[in-house]
Structure 1
Amino acid sequence: MQNKLMNNVQSDENARPCGLTPKGLERQRRILDAAREVFLEQGYDNASINDIMCRAGGSLSTLYRLFGSKLGLFEAMMMQTSNRVFAAFEAVECAAKRGDSPEQALKRYGHLLLERVLSPEAIGLYRLVSMDCSSEREHIQSLFYAQGPKRINEKLSAYLQRQVEQGIMNIRDTETAAFQFMEMVKGNFQLRALMGVSISKEEQDRAVDQAIELFLYGAMAC
């Protein structure tokens, strides 16, 4: 199912999924937008396919032809959202090519991380996944992890690995280190956002700066 969806769902703003006409592409977009609204409002288990199609317009046969099932629609929605929300992390790779210092690259990554994970859409998805009690719970959580935390971690991990190979940093496990930096930046912000507690820009800036200081203190090569 996932390979089929990857071929059918846009990977970026300019890509055209294989086999879809402009009209079909617009139909797909409407269905995915409606699905995102309904899933975030009602959760996966309570979301109604009929409700989604009422909002999107069109027939159930179109939905099943494009996505196969309710779970297939959810997977496609997650992939599309992940592409839009997390594509900006390509900037970490660009930073390395520009020759930015580790401090500059990590600062860019840290601020971008908070901007994305604390967005209303990301918080809504996190709430949806963490509170899901459907029979598909395990699959949905695995999909969210792969399309969210794991995906953005891979970008930073790859950057750190290049720093190790160039002798700039000394890190035994760059994948673990990337997750550790990410958690230092996030702190309790995600939990506070889930509870509706506001987080000031000053707090976010302070968290990013301190995470960089703590991380680089033990990561810089002598």
Structure 2
Amino acid sequence: MQDQRLQARREAMLDAAEQLFGTHGFDDTTLSAIVARSGGSLATLYKLFETKEGLLTQVLQRRPDQARAVIAEVRALGLPPAEMLREMLLRLRAKALTEENIRLVRAMVPQSIRDEKFSQQFRGEHLERAIAEMSEVFVEIQAKGQIPADDPEVLARMFFAMISFDIYTAVARFEMFHKRTKAQVEAEFLLFLRTIGLEEPA
């Protein structure tokens, strides 16, 4: 029972930290504010996370690797290559642009700039693994002779570039200056298909 209560308190503190980091930023969020929102005590927080940096690290670690999960789900559908890539793009954008995800990225960016170890962990556990997973998708398409044998990692990075700009504008709150329409996203996707030599879906 004690372990269950401690686990529940841990999750409540992580929830509160994620919300406050996203709303106020990492630097302007105090541990006292996190405890005030989550309940519990500072002593419990220090016992579970040691530092505010440790708390942010565990916020990151507990999140599922959404990009890789989406890629795996869509691959399992057995769609033709162009349709598969479109479905991946739409699902990945939807996941990436949720307010929950944008809040978390806002908190992680300044910490990544300050802390190289944290930055390497974020890249290694999320970004690079997602790129590796997407590279396998392009290897499979190439194996079927449907696109030229270009570097699959380059293709994967090009693919994710169609999403990263939207994340950047959302994180920086630049949507007021440029928020892409569905038609613009589709036009960019079709240009991507032509660039890699894949026929457009019917």
Shared fold, TM over 0.5? yes
2:193 paired residue number? 216
Match of 1:160 among 124, 138, 146: 138
Q: Return the offset for 1:156.
A: 1.8
> Contact 2:66–2:95 (CA<8 Å) still a contact in 1?
no
- Aligned counterparts of 1:205 and 1:21: Cα–Cα separation in 2: 51
Q: Deviations over 1:5-30 (max 9, x none)?
A: xxxxxxxxxxxxxxx94333211110
- Aligned counterparts of 2:5 and 2:112: Cα–Cα separation in 1: 36
Q: How many residues align?
A: 195
Runs of 4+ in 1 over 4 A off after TM superposition: 131-134
| 3-state SS in 2 of match to 1:104 | helix
Q: Counterparts of 1:1-222 in structure 2 under 5 Å?
A: 21-81=3-63, 83=64, 86-87=65-66, 89-131=68-110, 136-183=114-161, 185-186=162-163, 188-193=165-170, 194-197=173-176, 199=179, 203-207=181-185, 209-220=186-197
> Contact 2:16–2:37 (CA<8 Å) still a contact in 1?
yes
Structure 2 regions of 5+ residues with no counterpart?
A: none
Q: Deviations over 1:102-124 (max 9, x none)?
A: 11111111111221222222222
Q: Return the offset for 1:43.
A: 1.7
Q: Return the offset for 1:219.
A: 2.9
Scaled by the length of structure 1, what TM-score is found? 0.72
1:5 paired residue number? none
Could you tell which deviates more after superposition, 162-171 or 69-78? 162-171
Instruction: Give the 3 Å change call, closer, same or farther, for CA 192–96 of structure 1 in structure 2.
Output: closer
AA in 2 matched with 1:212? F
- Aligned counterparts of 2:183 and 2:6: Cα–Cα separation in 1: 43
Scaled by the length of structure 2, what TM-score is found? 0.78
> Contact 2:75–2:84 (CA<8 Å) still a contact in 1?
yes
- Aligned counterparts of 2:28 and 2:117: Cα–Cα separation in 1: 17
